[in-house]
Amino acid sequence: MALVSTMSALVLGLLVSSAKTFYDTQVAELNQLSADVVVLDRLLAHYGPDTKDARDELQASVIRLLDRIWPAENTRPFRTPQTQAPRTDMSSEALIDKIQALSPKDDKHRSLMAQTLGIAIGVARIRWLMYEQSNASVSRTLLVVMVFWLTAVFVSFGLFAPRNPTAIAGLCAGALSVSGAIFLILEMYMPYSGLIQISSSPLRAALEHLGH
């Protein structure tokens, strides 16, 4: 049972570490996306009034993303006529098309167009990466094996523990603690829907700077 306890501790620690890394990666990608959105809007603003449609599309796409990931939060104060479209996600392709439709007049405009196009493609890449990673989950087989090992460990404890309230309370406390670790693992693999939900503050802060 000492061997089983050691294996359980090692695997449980690895699972918690993996789940935390996944969660931190999602937070970093959201922060990167928010920063890129603001930089993209500022570059479009420096390009000139020809980019108004592209900037409106960028703002509308951010609102659609907020509505899709955090539907319970209110984004109506930021709504524009473009947000009434039935699309429910960031339309990066539409934004890229609007940027490519620009007609640069000089070297400055050509440089700004190339930079904005590169950032827009980067935004699309991050968004699709977030979408693909949202389907990630902990291995159910590994989780079942882990629960079996932990059950065996606590059964072995119960065989030798005295039958008194203190021992029973101690075993229950230990079982709840281990169950809490498994709960954290499952929650961190659901960063946009679970109790440990990623905040929308970075993207909302970025939205407040768009269009100015």
With 0.75 as the threshold, say if the pTM is over it: yes
In whole angstroms, give the CA distance from residue 164 to residue 19: 37
Asked whether residue 70 is domain-assigned, the answer is: yes
Asked whether residue 49 is domain-assigned, the answer is: yes
CB 123 within 8 A of CB 36: yes
Domain count of the chain? 1
Provide the residue-wise pLDDT of the chain in tens; the chain has 212 residues: 889 889 999 999 999 999 999 999 999 999 999 999 999 999 999 998 889 999 999 999 899 888 888 887 765 544 444 433 334 344 567 888 888 888 888 898 899 999 999 999 999 899 888 888 877 778 888 888 989 999 999 888 888 888 889 888 998 999 999 999 999 999 998 888 878 889 899 999 999 988 77
**pLDDT value, residue 87:** 41
Asked whether residue 191 is domain-assigned, the answer is: no
Asked whether residue 72 is domain-assigned, the answer is: yes
Owning domain of residue 71: 30-136+197-209
Asked whether residue 42 is domain-assigned, the answer is: yes
Asked whether residue 57 is domain-assigned, the answer is: yes
Give the helix, strand, coil percentages of the chain, each rounded to 5: 75, 0, 25
